[in-house]
Amino acid sequence: MNTLQNVEQPKNKFKMRYLILALVFVNIVINYMDRTNVSIAMPELAKEIGLTTVQQGLIFSAFGWIYAAMQVPGGILLDKFGSRIMYFISLFGWSLMTLFQAGIHNFSHFLGLRLGVGFFESPVMPANNRAISYWFPENERGTAIGIYSSAQFLGLAFSMPILYAIHNSIGWRGLFIVTGAIGIIWSFVWYIIYSDPQKNKWVSQSELIYIKDGGAIFEEEITDEKPKAKLTRENLKKLFTKKLIGIYLGQFAISGTFWFFLTWFPSYLTEEKGLSLSKTGFLSSIPYLAAFVGVILAGYVSDKLSKKGFSKSMSRKIPVITGLLLTLLIMGANYTSNPYLIITFMSIAFFGNGLATITWVFVTLLAPDNLLGLAGGIFNLCGALSSIVIPIVIGFLVANGNFSSALVFIAGIALLGACSYIFVVGNLEKDN
């Protein structure tokens, strides 16, 4: 495999891989918009259809149940059918489930549709990673992953006030209708434009050569020596090496902080700190902006260090470990009642979370090329488990009305993730 130092950049100005990156970016914005709309709708929705706090907790975690369970099957289907078809089915399906939530009238109906959202969203993150691995050379991949990972933070930072405005204008049912319709329309845009590079009619020959020689994955390189993914005992052994287990643990830790912000953070601001709903809509967007800056900076710094000759271990792991350690500062909010200091501590912690969110690059570096979808499914499964565990554990911890122990819990999980990358992952070379 050649390095980018020996490969000449294509001379044509239009670069199809950047358009592909933009498509993936929008996909993720829509994806996380449909994950968080339920937390905005919940206060009014719960009163209207009569949900208890226990039922609300189950609704918050329901997405994660089937989302986690479908990661491995979703990864297998992704390796078989590719990103174009699987992403279209996924995007159309979860958007339809979102649209249907506008018509709910009871707990069981709501629960079933949230399970549906989790089912259809299950291939999304492995599909993102697969598309970038096919379209971007290795030394550009950190930046590309940083950019598309930032979509979840930037999208939520700007969409939170908009989603609150939609909710306040046309109610929670209207919120589900608008967000669901956007995704359905966009699914057809994706299907029309996206294809793998060697099948794409808009990519230039010079760009195709550039990304291939730079280490992008091409289907024809997966030969009989590297057969397509099958769920065999031998393949499972390749997917549970010490290094891969280390990044699986790290992904659970990183996702844990994210799911605190995605589910309980608005309640923390309103119930623990007594902020108004309108003020919460604005203040809750600030940590997401900080996380966006973190993830963009992580991708840039990681690729910069790589191009300057730093080892893969140093250039890829430094942002992740630093970010996880910065997340520990979330505990600072326990020692102040000043809303601006609270948001400062939360923003630093979430900046760290963003800094650590380029971890998909480790899947590409450590997993066998023909098992990327399956490895990505297991990796995302570990992150998805946090969407089940974190909301429920925090629910128990705040039963007395105090969030202090919940913030200590989040910090402890982040520390566990940092230790995993330092002591378990080790050198970033694929095991034989």
Q: Which pLDDT value is given to residue 2?
A: 43
Residue with tokens 């399970």: 115
432 lies in some domain: no
148 lies in some domain: yes
209 lies in some domain: yes
Per-residue model confidence as pLDDT tens for the chain (432 residues): 444 445 555 555 678 999 999 999 999 999 988 888 888 888 789 889 998 767 877 888 888 888 888 877 887 888 788 889 999 999 999 999 999 999 999 999 999 999 999 999 988 888 888 888 888 887 788 778 778 877 877 777 878 888 888 988 999 999 999 999 999 999 999 999 999 888 888 888 888 888 888 777 776 554 444 455 566 777 778 888 889 999 999 999 999 998 898 888 877 887 777 766 556 667 778 898 898 888 778 878 887 887 787 777 788 888 899 999 999 999 999 998 888 899 999 999 999 998 998 787 788 788 877 777 778 778 878 888 888 888 888 888 887 878 899 999 999 999 999 999 999 987 766 655
What is the total count of domains within the chain?
Answer: 1
Helices (H), 200-311: 205-213, 233-239, 242-259, 265-267, 277-283, 285-307
Q: Name the helix (H) or strand (E) containing 215.
A: none
Q: Are 291 and 323 in contact (CB under 8 A)?
A: no
DSSP state of 6: G
Q: Are 24 and 128 in contact (CB under 8 A)?
A: yes
404 lies in some domain: yes
6 lies in some domain: no
Burial tier of 158 (Cβ tally within 10 Å: 0-12, 13-18, 19+): middle
Range of 264's domain?
16-215+229-425
Pick the closest to residue 248 from 425, 43, 408 (CA basis). 425
2 lies in some domain: no
Quickly count: other Cβ atoms within 10 Å of residue 113's Cβ: 23
Q: Name the helix (H) or strand (E) containing 338.
A: none
Q: Which pLDDT value is given to residue 281?
A: 63
Query: For the chain, first and last CA: distance in Å?
Result: 17
75 lies in some domain: yes
Pick the closest to residue 62 from 387, 383, 381 (CA basis). 387
Rounded CA separation 186/121 (Å): 15
CATH of the domain at 236: 1.20.1250.20
Distances (CA, A) of 4 to 141, 317, 337: 11, 20, 51
Identify residue 399 by its one-letter amino acid code: A
Identify residue 314 by its one-letter amino acid code: M
Angle, CA 191 vertex, CA 187 and CA 197 arms, to 5°: 135
220 lies in some domain: no
